[in-house]
Amino acid sequence: MMNEIINCLLQSEPWIEYCTRLDLLNQSKYDKEVIHANDKMISHPQIRLLLSELTQWSEEVVTNHKNAGLLLHKLAFIAEVGLTIEKPEIREIVDKIMKHKTREGVVQVQLNIPEHFGGTGQNSWAWSLCDAPLVLYSLIRLGLGGDSTVNQGLNFLRDLIRENGWPCSVSPELGKFRGPGRKDDPCPYATLLMLKVLSQINDFKESHEAHIGAECLLNLWARSKETHPYMFYMGTDFRKLKAPLIWYDIVHVADTLTQFEWLKNDTRLKELIDIIKSKANEDGSFTPESEWKAWKGWDFGQKKKPSQWLTFLILRIIKRFEA
């Protein structure tokens, strides 16, 4: 059955084939088959559309981070499928993104927080922990892991941690804005994104901050019925299978936590993954239980049939945890 699923993934869209060869079959990125899949990916119409949209980075204003059509989410997707600054068009996009950053190295996006939410109501180049870690994560995946500015920004954000996780934190340009929660609570989404970016740096995978962040999310899972900081629930909607990895849901959390090998024996993480595995179809594939309307037309942007990208993501999660 597993061989049949793998063969199906290899015959799918080029980004699914590419990631399957690298992450499930452990092929080298220098193998001819892997290089060929990468070349097909960069020329695919759906990828070309994303790249065209990303050239408009400086024009987008973020008003709701949960908007699945935001360019910062599309940036993360092209980074996760394996595109890098080795491609000239990716380099041009990255150069635009890097034009706006703080003296601490934190990359900014245009944000507009209404006054009645504690913001200024004005468009501002700023950052919050709902976007800055994701942008840095994407830049690292795209090939800027050794960039001094990116590393400076990551260190700055890492140091914002408290004893229970990362808080709802924003740059001064956003005024007194804070999410709908107690100020002493950790923000689950900010903590998830910070773990996501720390997982990309070997020196940080075993860090004290990573341990605090992981414990925050796993403790929230264990107490999911009574603990919902900043209105982030781990109930029915959280447990629905969904792609791509955009918001606070079971696949995104599992994908992030399984990148930390020291969590392999954690019973809370095992419980979370067992729920995901229980949703498999008879052939071992997985069907989305919820979809992002902004991604309609992608194989995961529907709920009627199995998604090969979602299936790949879950097989990678299982492989990491059971290795």
DSSP classification of residue 129 = T
Task: Tell me the pLDDT tens digit for each residue of 127-176.
Answer: 999 999 999 999 999 999 999 999 999 999 999 999 999 999 988 887 77
CB-CB contact of 269 with 314 (8 Å): no
Segment 117-128 shows an average pLDDT of 83
Q: Is the pLDDT of residue 17 over 80?
A: yes
Band the pLDDT of 2: cuts 50, 70, 90: confident
Provide the pLDDT for residue 120.
Answer: 74
Provide the pLDDT for residue 220.
Answer: 97
pTM of the model: 0.96
Q: How far apart are CA 177 and CA 168, in angstroms?
A: 9
Task: Tell me the pLDDT tens digit for each residue of 88-115.
Answer: 999 999 999 999 999 999 999 999 887 7
Residues paired with residue 109 on neighbouring β-strands, in sequence order: 126
Segment 196-206 shows an average pLDDT of 95
Task: Tell me the pLDDT tens digit for each residue of 245-278.
Answer: 999 999 999 999 999 999 999 999 999 999 999 9
Residues paired with residue 128 on neighbouring β-strands, in sequence order: 170
Q: Is the pLDDT of residue 204 over 90?
A: yes
DSSP result, 103-122: TTS-B-EEE---GGGTS-SS
CA distances from residue 19 to 26, 37, 255, 313 in whole angstroms, order as listed: 10, 9, 14, 9
Provide the pLDDT for residue 118.
Answer: 66
Cis bond leading into 186, ω under 30°?
Answer: no
Exposure string of 237-255, with b = 16+ CB inside 10 Å and e = fewer, is ebbbbbbbbbbbbbbbbbb
Q: Is the pLDDT of residue 178 over 90?
A: no
Q: Is the pLDDT of residue 37 over 80?
A: yes
Domains of the chain, by residue range, sit at 1-43
Provide the pLDDT for residue 182.
Answer: 87
Of 23-27, 115-119, 217-221, the poorest mean pLDDT is in 115-119
The two three-digit tokens of residue 44, written as one number: 């695919």
